[in-house]
Amino acid sequence: MAEVIGEREKYVTVLFNNAGTSAGHFSRPKPLAKAADFRKALFDDVPQDAFHNVYDTNSVGPYFMTMAFLELLEKWKESDEPAAKRIGPQVIMTSSINGWSKVRVDFWGKKGC
């Protein structure tokens, strides 16, 4: 993607990494739950391949996307644009609080725990 954009643009001013996924069904353990209860509620339902997919999408992907765009971001600083002397290139990473919220809403708007 960075190569294709680099063929048609001189530089990039902002890279917005916005990708995320999750896997498994999570339920909050009861009050005063033990460590085994948390493991069962939060981790046991996630197969290893699903965990790797989530990790690759949410962490590894944005890392490599940022590395791919570094040269185009750096070229903004070297441009003749007056703003380039005052404002550096930006990398914005977003994530979702949905995994930590008390009530989760799935894609279709159905509430769950």
User: Cα-atom radius of gyration of the chain, to the nearest Å?
Assistant: 20
Q: pLDDT per residue over 55-107, tens digit each?
A: 999 899 999 999 999 999 999 989 998 888 888 899 999 876 655 555 555 54
User: For the chain, which residues make up each domain, given as ranges?
Assistant: 2-112
Q: pLDDT per residue over 6-60, tens digit each?
A: 999 999 999 999 888 888 777 777 888 899 988 888 778 888 998 899 899 989 9
* DSSP element (H, E) containing 105: strand 104-105
Q: Are 21 and 58 in contact (CB under 8 A)?
A: yes
* Global pTM value: 0.70
Please tell me the CATH superfamily of domain 2-112, with its number: NAD(P)-binding Rossmann-like Domain (3.40.50.720)
The Cα 45–Cα 43 span in angstroms is 6
DSSP state of 84: G
The Cα 39–Cα 33 span in angstroms is 10
